[in-house]
């Protein structure tokens, strides 16, 4: 006798055996396979065969150059990089002696004199290093995007905004920590 089926009884019909499934699946004649003809095995494919070479779709021709960005974008981007370089060259020397620079600014504003602190010296050197690193990073990222032909003018703009915000925070820390500046602001505001 046949052993009873241990599977639960289906809700909408009976389970079909593999033979019944094959019999019920109709294969279109164009996809039917003649059982008497053996199937050939495919040759193994190497990684080199999968990578398209020059001249094929997915690769440029051997002498093709990357896409060029719009000339206006290139000119504007290079002008912004030059402006950033000028800013770094003119600002960094004053940051190495930040206490003297702030003191001269206070004297011109009529605030009084800035009290030099070790924090001012450390923040000045840190800010100078940040200026140079930000400009070099901006240059590298911008050149990479220009070589690929993508719009790049926004990179120096964003870098300028970031450097300005960091500088403002550093100067705010130093100004609010100076007693003569706080007295001046309290008296005049």
Question: Cβ neighbours of residue 85 under 8 Å, at least 6 residues apart?
Answer: 135
Structure tokens at 105: 């600014």
Q: Can you tell me which residue has the tokens 């003191």?
A: 103
**Interval 93-113 mean pLDDT:** 91
For 133-169, b/e burial (b = at least 16 CB within 10 A) is: ebbeebbeebeebbeeeeebbebbeebbeebeeeeee
pLDDT band at 76 (very low <50, low <70, confident <90, very high): very high
Number of domains making up the chain? 1
How many CB atoms are located within 10 Å of the residue 85 CB?
14
26 is a domain residue = no
The whole-number pLDDT of residue 20 equals 76
How many CB atoms are located within 10 Å of the residue 98 CB?
25
**Interval 125-144 mean pLDDT:** 97
Which structural domain range is residue 96 located in?
Answer: 71-188
129 is a domain residue = yes
**Between 154-176 and 179-188, two packed helices, what is the crossing angle to 10 degrees?**
90
61 is a domain residue = no
Express each pLDDT in 155-177 by its tens digit. 999 999 999 999 999 999 999 99
Over 60: is that where the pLDDT of 58 sits?
no
52 is a domain residue = no
Are 123 and 98 a contacting pair, CB within 8 Å? yes
Please tell me whether the overall predicted TM-score, pTM, comes out greater than 0.75 for this model: no
93 is a domain residue = yes
**Interval 11-39 mean pLDDT:** 70
Residue 41: DSSP 8-state: P
19 is a domain residue = no
The whole-number pLDDT of residue 128 equals 97
157 is a domain residue = yes
Cα gap 81→140, rounded to integer Å: 11
56 is a domain residue = no
Most distant CA atoms of the chain, gap in Å: 111
pLDDT band at 56 (very low <50, low <70, confident <90, very high): low
The mean pLDDT of the chain is 83
């Amino acid at each position: 006798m046949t052993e009873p089926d241990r599977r639960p009884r289906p809700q909408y019909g009976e389970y079909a055996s593999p033979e019944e499934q094959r019999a019920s699946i109709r294969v279109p004649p164009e996809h039917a396979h003649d059982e008497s003809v053996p199937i050939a095995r495919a040759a193994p494919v190497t990684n080199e065969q999968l990578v398209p070479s020059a001249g094929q779709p997915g690769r440029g021709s051997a002498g093709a150059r990357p896409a060029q960005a719009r000339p206006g974008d290139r000119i504007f981007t290079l002008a912004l990089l030059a402006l950033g370089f000028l800013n770094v060259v003119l600002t960094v020397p004053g940051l190495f002696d930040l206490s003297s620079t702030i003191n001269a600014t206070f004297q011109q504003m009529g605030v009084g004199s800035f009290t030099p602190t070790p924090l001012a010296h450390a923040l000045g050197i840190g800010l100078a290093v940040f200026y140079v690193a930000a400009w070099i990073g901006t240059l590298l990222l911008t050149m990479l995007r220009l070589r690929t032909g993508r719009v790049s003018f926004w990179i120096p703009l964003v870098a300028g905004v970031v450097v300005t915000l960091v500088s403002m925070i550093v100067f705010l820390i130093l100004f609010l920590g100076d007693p003569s500046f706080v007295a001046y602001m309290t008296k005049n505001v």
